[in-house]
Amino acid sequence: MSYNSSGSSFQRTTPIVLNLIIINALAFLAQYAFGGMDQLNRVNDLFALHHYKSTEFRPYQLVTHMFMHGGIFHLLFNMLALWMFGTMIERIWGPKRFLIFYLICGLGAGLAQMGSYTFDFWQIDHANLDAELYEQYQTALRMNC
């Protein structure tokens, strides 16, 4: 499928990239509206990727984490990169193939992060913790998302 290259740069943005930018912006607004950029907010608890031993971890977070951002500059630079590179790739590959690529990359990033969590917390994960230390550990895991 060929995209028209005339018009403003916003009009030249491909449909999947444009929709992903909108979804990311809406997710950021929800994050900000329901707790600001404080890590301990309900939107982050529900949708950011948590350590698999955290009480906040849910399997769907492997998908939803790719729409969460740590601040306005994180969002802006990610969306700039998505717009610059994603538009080109979508034009070459087409919308379906690009969306599959985007989702696979996000899922791969989530799995890599889970591997990093496993490595970083290996000793603590295999220790016997009393109730007080367990609560402190859960708080640390929640802050680490």
Contact in structure between 67 and 47 (CB atoms under 8 Å):
yes
Render 30-50 in DSSP notation, one character per residue: HHHHTTTT-SSSHHHHHHS--
Q: What distance in Å separates the CA atoms of residue 27 and residue 9, rounded to the nearest whole number?
A: 23
pLDDT reading at 84 higher than 90 = yes
Q: What are the tens digits of pLDDT across the range 88-131?
A: 999 999 999 999 999 999 999 999 998 888 887 777 666 677 67
Question: Tens digits of per-residue pLDDT, 7-58?
Answer: 555 558 899 999 999 999 999 999 888 876 665 677 888 898 888 878 888 9
Angle at 45 between CA 100 and CA 78, to 5 degrees: 45
| Cβ(31)–Cβ(24) below 8 Å | no
* Cβ atoms 106, 23 nearer than 8 A: no
Q: Phi/psi of residue 40, each to 5°? A: -95, 65
Vertex 119, ends 116 and 122: CA angle to 5°?
A: 140
0.85 surpassed by pTM: no
Tell me the C-alpha distance between 54 and 139, whole Å: 9
Joined together, the tokens standing for residue 142 give 């929640």
